[in-house]
Structure 1
Amino acid sequence: MGFHRRVRPFLFAVVLLVALVLVAAPATPQVPGNFGAGLPASPATDVDRTQTTLAPGVSLERFTRVTGPDRTRISVLRADLSLPTVSADLLFPGVVAGRRQLTAMATNAGAIGGVNGDFFDIENDPSDTRLRSDAPAGTAIAGGELLKSFDPVSETEGRKTALLGAD
């Protein structure tokens, strides 16, 4: 009996499940400034820009990118990891094949922000849940320890893994 599953990336998932673990300061909107600094140039038009300071050294920038008839809502979480009060680590549901909402894991960890960036086992046929786990399928590293790795061909369709480190 074969075991078939297809893992697809979430629409806006790009990086490992990462959270900024620190004491949250009240969110305060900022006066419009140099939004998008450091982002690559694009023929698209960016509209509806906002930037909010979540805590000292942590900000959230949101804007809509318009390319012809298409509109994409973009959120950029910026963190100054050189500050002693700002850190990043993996949000982990507790077991390798476990699943839990990102917001629940971030709240449990005391994080003020999280980035969902894994691949998930979501099986092609939604009516067949026997083989579907909805579990994250990518590499997981927490506190410098490898928790799990993956087969780059079968589990992520050949996509590369990005890792964050102190250096």
Structure 2
Amino acid sequence: MGASGVARIGALGAAVALVALVSPVEAAEAQDSEVVIGPGASHRPLSLSTAHGPVQGHLVTVDLTDPRANLGLLQAGSVAAKDEIADQTNAAGALAGVNGDFFNISEEHPGVVPTSSSVGPEIAGGDPLKGAVPDGQRFGPALPGGTSNADVFALGADRKAGISTLSVAGKAFGPHGIVDVEGLNQYALPVDGVGAFTHDWGEVSRARSVCGTDADRSAPCSADTEEVVITDGVVRSEADLPGAGPIPADTVVLTGRERGAAELEALDPGDLVGVRTTLLPADGMPLSFAVGATPIMRDGAPAPDLDTAELAPRTAAGISEDGRRVYLLVADGRSPASTGLNLRETAGLLADLGAADAVNLDGGGSSTMAVRTPDSPQATVRNVPSDGRQRQVPNGIGVFTN
């Protein structure tokens, strides 16, 4: 699931063909300002010098060899909800938090409301909350080669951080046979597919889930849909169009499009239907926490086609070779005081800090870090969000003490 076998890139950045981003003086000054924020967790500001200008950032380091240190999902209350990272951090009682995955931030389909749901999977406390939308339904930058929307930054049951890939595995057992369930609380379902929506989804309309195609996010919404509401294992109602509103804890809503809709149309009120869904990690390691993320470095080597042109605010996470140390990074951008980083520089910086694997998270106006120090009762924003204020986002990575 994590890094293996290749040493970290040193200060010369030889393996990444980068000039060192942090001078010895700047590194010493940053180290002097490091503050312990809890067991196994510390925060420090970064002052970087690059060929394109200064970059200001912040780093939270988590030592998972300390049994009191932990990582978990920050969330805005449900999958289809959003809130500021400082509020999510404080609501969860976390020591620190950074924003997480890219999300359904805008909408191309008339009359369809953006869900604010994230692109990739989510696991919280070992419970699967949502699956990944098809790659063509992505919001955010294009994926590097060899990656997908199903990739996650995760913490395994063995308390090692790493990169994994999660797929939805689901079945609906009814009177006419078994129906494959390919989605879980997703703003976009595969063409011909069926998705399950649970209490974790929230109140937002499910209409977006049948819009676009696997290859084209802006393609028209499907005209061939069906939705079935199942409570305590019994079909209570059916409808031609996806609905909205809260879903009780004892209820599962199945939404289908095209061939999936035809399978659901065979069900009638009163039918007995059992639904089972989970998220399966590709490497088999059970996960206690996961959030959608894009791998930009594995085993000390950056992805071969990382962008080197666009400078932007960045949020990223690095993982040490043994999976026991995590580096949560936010770099400000889009201002004279901090020009931002490109993706290759982001990978190089995390390597220089000690990471062997790394992922990119949502950047730009979403990039936010909130930290609570021992002398402050609440976590506060430490970086300078490029929008001039915090952006509301669906999820994040929280640093906790057990």
Are 1:140 and 2:116 counterparts? no
Does structure 2 retain, via aligned residues, the 8 Å contact 1:63–1:74? yes
How far is 1:61 from its partner?
Answer: 2.4
C-alpha distance in structure 2 between counterparts of 1:109 and 1:90, whole Å: 9
Identity among equivalent positions (%) equals 27
Which of 44, 48, 51 is the equivalent residue of 2:20? 44
Q: Which has the higher helix share?
A: 2
Does structure 1 retain, via aligned residues, the 8 Å contact 2:34–2:45? yes
Q: Secondary structure at the match of 1:95?
A: coil
Q: Secondary structure at the match of 2:72?
A: strand
C-alpha distance in structure 2 between counterparts of 1:57 and 1:91, whole Å: 19
Alignment length, in residue pairs? 128
Amino acid corresponding to residue 102 of structure 2 in structure 1: F
How far is 1:98 from its partner?
Answer: 1.0
How far is 1:121 from its partner?
Answer: 1.9
C-alpha distance in structure 2 between counterparts of 1:140 and 1:110, whole Å: 19
Relative contact order, higher structure (CA 8 A, sep 6+): 1
Does structure 2 retain, via aligned residues, the 8 Å contact 1:44–1:65? no
How far is 1:51 from its partner?
Answer: 1.4
Specify the structure having the higher radius of gyration (Cα): 2
Which of 140, 147, 154 is the equivalent residue of 1:163? 154
Amino acid corresponding to residue 105 of structure 1 in structure 2: Q
Which of 75, 78, 86 is the equivalent residue of 2:61? 78
TM-score normalized by the length of structure 1 = 0.63
Show structure 2 runs of 5+ residues with no match: 1-7, 14-18, 161-402
The residue aligned with 1:23 is none
How far is 1:39 from its partner?
Answer: 6.6
Amino acid corresponding to residue 70 of structure 2 in structure 1: S
C-alpha distance in structure 2 between counterparts of 1:116 and 1:124, whole Å: 21
Does structure 2 retain, via aligned residues, the 8 Å contact 1:80–1:86? yes
C-alpha distance in structure 2 between counterparts of 1:122 and 1:40, whole Å: 38
The residue aligned with 2:52 is 69
How far is 1:56 from its partner?
Answer: 2.9
Does structure 2 retain, via aligned residues, the 8 Å contact 1:99–1:136? no
Are 1:108 and 2:91 counterparts? yes
1:72-103 alpha-carbon deviations (Å, 9 max, x no partner): 22322111223232211111222111111111
Amino acid corresponding to residue 65 of structure 1 in structure 2: L
Distance change in 2, residues 1:161/1:87 (3 Å): closer
The residue aligned with 1:117 is 100
Show structure 1 runs of 5+ residues with no match: 1-37
Does structure 1 retain, via aligned residues, the 8 Å contact 2:46–2:58? yes
Distance change in 2, residues 1:133/1:40 (3 Å): farther
Which of 73, 77, 80 is the equivalent residue of 1:90? 73
TM-score normalized by the length of structure 2 = 0.29
Does structure 1 retain, via aligned residues, the 8 Å contact 2:106–2:114? yes
C-alpha distance in structure 1 between counterparts of 2:56 and 2:111, whole Å: 31
Does structure 2 retain, via aligned residues, the 8 Å contact 1:97–1:135? yes
